[in-house]
Chains A and B, each alone.
Chain A
Amino acid sequence: EIVMTQSPATLSVSPGETATLSCRASQSVNSNLAWYQQKLGQAPRLLIYSASTRATGIPARFSGSGSGTEFTLTISSLQPEDFAVYYCQQYNPWPPSITFGQGTRLEIK
């Protein structure tokens, strides 16, 4: 099983600043990596797929990078609505496997 490890567990950043979240895979997932945002009491929302492609309707301040085992989600010019929990997810085509990281909580500093 591919294990996804996110860091840090909690990140405190001030509005208007930039947040950098990390995700590491236990083995290469190439660019098969997605990022989701989840607010309290809500379903997750797809932000990024294929490591760096923004999903429909996602603002340009969200960007993803990386390949292989190391990935980063960068959120620039943080808005109040961006404070939430963020999850990475790998999708290995064969054998089919889908695993999520444990999440990073982005909180207001």
Chain B
Amino acid sequence: EVQLVESGGGLVQPGGSLRLSCAASGFTFSSYWMAWVRQAPGKGLEWVANIKQDGSEKYYVDSVKGRFTISRDNAKNSLYLQMNSLRAEDTAVYYCARDGVPAVTVFDYWGQGTLVPVSS
């Protein structure tokens, strides 16, 4: 059974940093692109970043470029999101998602999400 379990969320002050983790199991993690998608309270979905199987390609939404870094450790079946210079508008539930359908970029498995409130 495919499982994605996020951790690392919590209250952080504006300008602060946080590192999210996603533990993957039930599939060959190193064979898939992975992504972070966020959802502000009561709002819609926003793709944040994605990363190729070997980490050689990474892409970000413009609003987080230069502040967030996506990475992965295939030996540990883990995905990460380092978030720096956090702003109030980064407040959201952050989901880890698998890009699991060949030749298209869609997310077939999602974690339960971890909440990141950014507030003083």
A→B interface (CB under 8 Å): 1, 32, 34, 36, 38, 43-46, 49-50, 55-56, 87, 89, 91, 93, 96, 98-103
Q: Which of B38-84 contact A (CB under 8 A)?
A: 44-47, 50, 59, 62
B108→A46 contact, CB < 8 A: yes
Q: Could you tell me the distance between the alpha carbons of A89 and B99 in the complex, rounded to whole angstroms?
A: 13
B→A interface (CB under 8 Å): 35, 37, 44-47, 50, 59, 62, 95, 101, 104-108, 110-113
Q: How far is the CB of B106 from chain A (nearest CB, A)?
A: 4
B106→A34 contact, CB < 8 A: yes
Q: Chain B's interface: helix, strand, loop or mixed, by majority?
A: strand
Q: Could you tell me the distance between the alpha carbons of A102 and B40 in the complex, rounded to whole angstroms?
A: 12
| Residues of chain A with a CB closer than 8 A to B95's CB | 43-44
Q: How far is the CB of B4 from chain A (nearest CB, A)?
A: 9
Known: A1-B62, A43-B95. A91 touches B105 (CB 8 A): yes
Q: Please, could you name 7 A-B residue pairs with CB atoms under 8 Å apart, sorted by A?
A: A43-B110, A43-B113, A49-B101, A49-B104, A56-B108, A98-B105, A103-B44
